[in-house]
Amino acid sequence: MSRLPPVRLVFMGSDPIVLPTLDYLVSKSGLVEIGTVYTQPDRARGRGKKVQPNAVKSWAMERSIPVVQPESFDEEAIEELQELNPSIILVMAYGHLLPQKVLDCPPLGIYNIHTSLLPALRGASPIESAVASCVAESGVTLMKLVMKMDAGPICGQLSVAKDDLETGGSYRKKLADASPGLLKTHLTSILDGSIRSQEQDESAVTYCRLLVKQDGQLDFEHPARELAQRINGLNPWPGCYAELNQQLLKVGTASWTNEACVQEPGVIVKSDSGGVSVATAEGVLNLLSLQKPGGKMLAADDFLRGFPVEPCSRFESRPMHPLITKKPVSHKRVFQLYTKP
């Protein structure tokens, strides 16, 4: 009995988080063939601001897989996709909204891997927001793509544990490594048309938004646990910072304790090789790594050798706004929150 040829697949993604999933798809060459990779156009990157390909394009070029980089899906881009005649499209961290004509293109459907446990954390920053907002559980979801943002029927999910001192960067790697597991379970059923899906519970939907630099501000009137999670979750980007003696210090990682503290929020309780301990509304925040203007991020012990921090000095508090909401928040509205008097 002759084997059927592999199913032609188009992959759409722009972030390095997709690379383990691409590697898995290549390993399943008997089932699927990545005919084309769609990714964002080349952008200026790095300190020199040179235009260069992203990691996804570089991955595809190393394997001689054709790459397409439309700025948007206008009629010309849609026609080009239709001419490729893909049987299936898989999307992950792509960065483009796809029109209905694209969704209707592949006969076996178009699927998306989203880095949260939908219906929680629909939107642009599910990884950072999960860590920074003390979300108890998150993971990855395989879903059918629909026009409404992250609202398609769920085909499968995997929960991914978070450590107490998890950062946005470390959790991103965990989710990247977990994502191929969704395809290990569901790829065959996608290809033979037997995959099952379940509509999302709209009453349980939450949203996360695009992050802005101002989200790194710290308000010490919040509990220490909330502050530590925000610091860790927004590492590496946008990063958190606080003003001390008219200097803006960047904070890389933090821990917390629930010990009672009589000092006012923002006051430094102690500073030693174990970190810079700061009073908060509830408990003590311990800053484990810091960076002075023009310097490098250093462990607290190394930082304090060149930048003494005196106990009883005080960090200034600045407003922090929620990263997770029950209704979508526009990018414009976020800036209004941070700029209003």
Domain ranges of the chain: 7-208, 213-316
Q: Give the pairing of strands 275-279 and 268-272.
A: antiparallel
Q: What is the distance between the alpha carbons of residues 154 and 328, in angstroms, rounded to a whole number?
A: 20
CATH class of the domain defined by 213-316: alpha beta
Decide if pLDDT at 1 tops 50: no
CATH architecture of the domain 7-208 equals: 3-Layer(aba) Sandwich (3.40)
Q: What is the pLDDT of residues 269-291, one digit of tens each?
A: 999 989 999 999 999 999 999 99
Q: What is the distance between the alpha carbons of residues 162 and 159, in angstroms, rounded to a whole number?
A: 10
pLDDT at 3: 62
List the single range of 34-48, 57-71, 81-95 with lowest mean pLDDT: 34-48
Q: What is the distance between the alpha carbons of residues 263 and 267, in angstroms, rounded to a whole number?
A: 6
Q: What is the distance between the alpha carbons of residues 121 and 73, in angstroms, rounded to a whole number?
A: 25
Decide if pLDDT at 87 tops 50: yes
313 token code pair: 């000095």
User: Which residue spans within the chain are E strands per DSSP?
Assistant: 7-12, 32-38, 43-45, 50-52, 67-68, 88-91, 110-114, 122-123, 138-144, 154-160, 207-208, 240-244, 247-257, 268-272, 275-279, 284-291, 298-299, 315-316, 324-325
183 token code pair: 């395809």
Q: What is the mean pLDDT of the chain?
A: 95
Unique residue bearing structure tokens 């990691």: 55
